[in-house]
Amino acid sequence: MPLIPEQVLDEIQSRADIAELIGQYVPLKRAGRHFKGLCPFHQERTPSFHVNTDKQIYHCFGCGVGGNIFSFLMQQERLTFPEAAQRLAEQVGVPIPAGGDPARSERLTELFDLVEKAAQYYERALAHPTMGRAARAYVETRGVTAATRQAFRIGCAPAGWDHLVRAARHRGVEPAQLEAAGLALPGSRGLRDRFRERLLFPIQDARGRVLGFGGRALGDQEPKYLNSPDTPIYHKGQGLFGISQAKEAIARAKCAVIVEGYFDCVVLWQEGIQHVVSPLGVALTPEQARLLLRYTDRAVLAFDADTAGEAASLRGMDVLVEAGFHVQVAQLPAGVDPDEFVRTYGRGAVEQLASAALGIVEFLTACAARRYRLNNVDEKVQAAQQMILPTIAKVPNAMLRAEHVRVLAEQWQLDEAAVREELSKVSSRPAVGRGAAGPDAKRGDVVRAAVPGHIAERLVTALVLDEPARWDRVRGHAALQEVRDERLRRILAVVAELHGSGGREPSAGHVMARLQDEEAGAMVPQLIALAQAEPDKEEAWRKVLLRLERDASRRHQEHLRQQIRVAQSLGNDAEKMRLLSAYQTVMKSPAGSSEPRDAELGMAQAS
């Protein structure tokens, strides 16, 4: 999604009430001018979650999480900033232009509406006494109940040439719209339905909006499974089938079960394994991994126990490991898929399989044993180099990588130092980072994990975000040159740009809007929480500027000392004396005195 104009965000914030929004998720009680309640992001008995209606922000004094109306929705619903802004805009009736083009925005809305109407049509077709008889009979043979059909909005496309096309024409839908939505395509006899004589699984986003369809043939059609083509609202490899139905269960279980097929997903969900999703019949992608990371960083792969399933597990494992997941692989009996297994043996057996799932080294070594003669030293080394170490190299956590190396060396009786050396030769790409901290973050973890870097740098940026008017008091200040973290510098630069653009004083929401697709944007809510945790912000502001000034003075002193040593080595006495004089002047200045400790700055809680 393109950047959302600042005036649109401003309008959203002015119309939305943060207490009203949060009150939909958390029972709030008035406490003076503001509200408080039990924090939705960690377990607590005594309310420590406060909502400040003046500043339109929230903060939990128990776990440290905080932010504004956008970041609350981002954390509560695991949305990106543009998605949260879109959701709020719809609630308060503010239109968001797509890329500044109202016409494009209107076209996208029309596509969503058209695909939703198609989903309703297919649902009615499945329920029709004659039109849906064969499809219903097939669904029943797969053990899917009527309630589950409704939960996943399963439908069917009747046999025939143009049932949907004719129904759409009666409603005044243009043929070009049907093609744009991936619902129809031109044929020798005119426009025809893309899906014919198929059971249809609506592909929904996390919000429950229908984006496209996956169709399973009811006859002898090829291919057996047919998905919607890429459209302006649907892109293969970016969504996950079942995410709308599973997202809350995934967050509760702190784990996702990933299966291959639509029926695998639907039947496991029906049997109570509701933290389950499917990658839409395509190989798992980094985009799908990032989507899943909104809800958990643990995954169990439960693909079919055949050669294709093993290959899919290997590919999926690499993608998930590189994204930062803790990955396990469930070992299904040969020739049985998850759908058949749960219907035959029940939910308890599936849970036992998941609890006994193999870790990545165990699974990789088991796969290697089927492909290499491990009693042969050369093949064992080849298996380690080609099959196991490339995956271990993708693990972002250094300690976890080291543990995998230790386990591999121990199991295969290899020299651990040699394995580490070979691992260092394997190139690995940077890992996909997680977004905002999840609801189970411990006290202080949110701020520390999401806002790394020097304490004083973080606090000065946080205080500027908390009260943008402070920018006028610090612009051009030499102390800002001491901010080394590029993300913090980017945030301060955006504050400067917004101040320079005139109009209203910029809010944290405006800053986040400018940083929608940047890593720095995810830091803003945590920085606000850091500022809110300061009991005396003006005193903290004074001390943090003094600290940064002293940091600048210390670096200047070191630079002068180096120059003095160079002048002395060159025998340039005049330059040496000039530099000594400059050094003494710096030492006598207020900033040249010994620097205060972090605890003296009132920042110990952020260290």
pLDDT at 186 over 70: yes
Domain check: are 80 and 115 in the same one?
no
Domain check: are 43 and 126 in the same one?
no
Domain check: are 42 and 160 in the same one?
no
Predicted pLDDT at 427: 53
Predicted pLDDT at 244: 94
Residue range 207-240, pLDDT digits in tens? 899 999 999 999 888 889 999 999 999 988 889 9
Predicted pLDDT at 591: 53
Number of structural domains the chain divides into: 3
Residue position matching structure tokens 């695909």: 115
Predicted pLDDT at 597: 38
Position 596 in a domain: yes
Residue of 556 and 252 predicted with greater confidence? 252
Predicted pLDDT at 295: 85
Domain check: are 462 and 576 in the same one?
yes
Residue range 98-122, pLDDT digits in tens? 655 566 677 888 999 999 999 999 9
Neighbouring-strand partners of residue 31: 34
Gyration radius of the chain over CA positions? 29
Predicted pLDDT at 4: 73
The CATH number that applies at residue 39 is 3.90.580.10
Predicted pLDDT at 476: 65
The CATH number that applies at residue 214 is 3.90.980.10
Predicted pLDDT at 144: 96
* Residue 262's pLDDT band (cuts 50, 70, 90): very high
Residue of 170 and 604 predicted with greater confidence? 170
| Structural domain of 199 | 102-227
* Residue 2's pLDDT band (cuts 50, 70, 90): low
Count Cα atoms within 13 angstroms, Cβ side, for 261: 17
Domain boundary residue among 205, 227, 249?
Answer: 227
Residue range 477-509, pLDDT digits in tens? 666 666 777 888 888 888 888 776 665 566 776
Specify which of 33-37, 97-101, 298-302, 544-548 reaches the highest per-range mean pLDDT: 298-302
> What kind and span of H or E run contains 425?
helix 416-425
Residue range 571-583, pLDDT digits in tens? 888 888 888 887 7
**Phi then psi dihedrals of residue 417, to 5 deg:** -65, -40
Domain check: are 457 and 579 in the same one?
yes
Neighbouring-strand partners of residue 329: 301, 358
Position 30 in a domain: yes
Residue of 427 and 139 predicted with greater confidence? 139
Tell me the C-alpha distance between 143 and 405, whole Å: 44
List C-alpha distances in Å: 566 to 76, 569, 577, 581, 587.
58, 5, 12, 16, 20
Domain check: are 502 and 457 in the same one?
yes
Full-model pTM: 0.67
Residue of 180 and 93 predicted with greater confidence? 180
Position 245 in a domain: no
Domain check: are 218 and 108 in the same one?
yes
Q: Quick check: 423 and 461 in contact, CB under 8 A? A: no
* Residue 595's pLDDT band (cuts 50, 70, 90): very low
Residues whose CB is less than 8 angstroms from the CB of residue 4 and which lie 6 or more positions away in sequence, other chains included: 82, 85, 96, 513, 516
Domain boundary residue among 37, 69, 92?
Answer: 92
Predicted pLDDT at 537: 84
Q: Quick check: 459 and 601 in contact, CB under 8 A? A: yes
Residues whose CB is less than 8 angstroms from the CB of residue 296 and which lie 6 or more positions away in sequence, other chains included: 250, 251, 253, 254, 255, 256, 438
Tell me the C-alpha distance between 406 and 81, whole Å: 41
Predicted pLDDT at 447: 34
Tell me the C-alpha distance between 310 and 55, whole Å: 53
Mean pLDDT of 377-393: 93
Residue of 526 and 42 predicted with greater confidence? 42
Domain check: are 456 and 595 in the same one?
yes
Predicted pLDDT at 209: 92
pLDDT at 276 over 90: yes
Domain check: are 55 and 177 in the same one?
no
Residue of 518 and 568 predicted with greater confidence? 568
Position 362 in a domain: no
Tell me the C-alpha distance between 203 and 206, whole Å: 10
Predicted pLDDT at 126: 97
Position 48 in a domain: yes
Distance of CA 150 to the CA centre of its chain: 28
pLDDT at 150 over 50: yes
Report helix, strand or coil for 49: strand
Domain check: are 72 and 196 in the same one?
no
Mean pLDDT of 518-546: 78
Position 332 in a domain: no
Residue range 439-461, pLDDT digits in tens? 333 333 333 333 333 678 888 88
Specify which of 85-89, 472-476, 579-583 reaches the highest per-range mean pLDDT: 85-89
- Rounded to the nearest 10 degrees, what angle do helices 519-532 and 69-77 cross at? 110
Average pLDDT, the chain: 83
Domain boundary residue among 182, 207, 227?
Answer: 227
End-to-end CA distance of the chain: 36
Predicted pLDDT at 3: 64
pLDDT at 18 over 50: yes
Predicted pLDDT at 493: 85
Tell me the C-alpha distance between 14 and 61, whole Å: 26
Domain check: are 68 and 215 in the same one?
no
Position 290 in a domain: no
According to DSSP, residue 328 is labeled E
Tokens standing for residue 271: 């049997």
* Residue 79's pLDDT band (cuts 50, 70, 90): confident
Predicted pLDDT at 378: 92
Domain check: are 68 and 134 in the same one?
no
